[in-house]
Structure 1
Amino acid sequence: MLESLREDVRTALAKDPAATSAATIALLYSGLHAIWGYRLAHALWRRGFRFTARFLSQFVRFLTGVEIHPAADIGRRLFIDHGAAVVIGETAEIGDDVLLYHGVTLGGDSMRREKRHPTLEDGVTVGANATLLGAITVGENASVGAGSVVVDDVDPGTTVAGVPAEPIGTATGERSTAEGSPSE
């Protein structure tokens, strides 16, 4: 457990150029506190302490402004930069090395008890105030532009932006030739 906490601090140091020290991160980064609270709530959830897990997740939301459902499945080294107003729904799945900026919503599009929240594969980056809805998959190393609304799957290594989000490039820097996008 202690090694996991250290790994989270090292991740913040690596992903935030404004980070000045491990102590500052551990004491003052609300996104990190939200992840730590989630990990505890998730452990409680998996052991059948559902009410206690939900209570803890709501308390952490009150403290940090980040709401992560304790049933969500989150991998290693998630970094939530600035933390405010992030929402991660119950059936969301997040891989390793994912970066979320403030205001990101991983929301559902169904009232049925089914997979209804997004899956973010390893290495995904989601820009500020982006909304991802439904049981979609954002592929490995893909990026979602700030303010985008994503309702369809995103291919690995692709950058999407807009409302609704459309491909605008790839991880190799190629620009999309889709209508409304630059061709060079």
Structure 2
Amino acid sequence: MFSRMKEDIRCIFEQDPAARSTFEVVLTYSGLHAIWSHRIAHALFKRNMHFAARVLSQMNRFFTGIEIHPGAQIGRRLFIDHGMGIVIGETCEIGNDVTLYQGVTLGGTGKEKGKRHPTLSDNVLVATGAKVLGNIIIGTNSKVGAGSVVLKDVPSDSTVVGIPGKVVISNGVRVKDRLNHTLQDPVSDMCKAMDARIVQLELQLKELTKATPNSDEKDEKR
């Protein structure tokens, strides 16, 4: 237990240049407190002490602003930086050396049963405000950009940005043809439809203007 705690503290020093002393890290880093509290809650959860685990989880949320369901499986050296607002669902699986920033949600997409939360492989980074939803897998060494909403599996060594999330970098190379998602972008589709409609109306107005004589021509005929 103490070796794991030392490992967690060492991870913070490696990841956060603002960390100055062990005393400061132990007393003031809410992400570290959340991880330590979750380990106890998870141990209770595995022993079917679900009520006690949830109570501890809610206390953890109250004091740190980080909500981790006691059923979530978290690997070694998870680094939570400025963790306020982070939510980690019950069936989440987080690998080793993962980094989560403020406002990240690892959640579900509805009322489905069983595995309904994402799996984050080793060395994944999820930036501020990103939402990773559903039973999907984020591959090893991948990054999720700030504010992104990811609903599909992400290959290893990739960078995902946007709503819905799309792969823009894969294996260090910028992707020209991004992943084809079944989920459409309704805002983009509506804008394209409106542009096409405006062009059509302008053409119709031009034809009507040509077909209708102006007032000067009517006066000459009279």
Q: TM-score, normalised by structure 2?
A: 0.78
Contact 1:130 1:148 survives alignment (8 Å): yes
Runs of 4+ in 1 over 6 A off after TM superposition: none
In 2, the alpha carbon distance for the partners of 1:164 and 1:17 equals 32
The alignment-based identity, stated in percent, is: 54
In structure 2, the residue matched to 1:178 is: 177
In 1, the alpha carbon distance for the partners of 2:159 and 2:59 equals 35
Matches within 5 A, 1:35-114: 35-114=35-114
Deviation for aligned residue 1:21: 1.6
Deviation for aligned residue 1:20: 1.2
Deviates more, 1:55-64 or 1:21-30: 21-30
Which structure dedicates a bigger proportion of its chain to helix? Answer: 2
In 2, the alpha carbon distance for the partners of 1:156 and 1:118 equals 15
Q: Which amino acid aligns with 1:158?
A: S
Q: Which amino acid aligns with 2:23?
A: A
In structure 2, the residue matched to 1:137 is: 137
Deviation for aligned residue 1:85: 0.2
Unaligned ranges ≥5, structure 1: 180-184
Residues 133-173 of structure 1 deviation map (CA, whole Å, 9 limit, x = unaligned): 0000000010000000000000000000011111111353x
Name the SS for the 2:40 alignment partner: helix
Whichever of the two has the greater Rg, that structure is 2
- Are residues 47 and 151 of structure 1, via their aligned partners in 2, closer, same or farther at CA, if it must alter by over 3 Å? same
Deviation for aligned residue 1:176: 1.5
Unaligned ranges ≥5, structure 2: 179-222
In structure 2, the residue matched to 1:29 is: 29
In 2, the alpha carbon distance for the partners of 1:147 and 1:95 equals 22
Deviation for aligned residue 1:99: 0.2
In structure 1, the residue matched to 2:126 is: 126
Deviation for aligned residue 1:127: 0.3
In structure 1, the residue matched to 2:206 is: none
In structure 1, the residue matched to 2:157 is: 157
Deviation for aligned residue 1:110: 2.9
* Structure 1 vs Structure 2 CA RMSD: 1.0
Name the SS for the 2:152 alignment partner: coil
Q: TM-score, normalised by structure 1?
A: 0.94
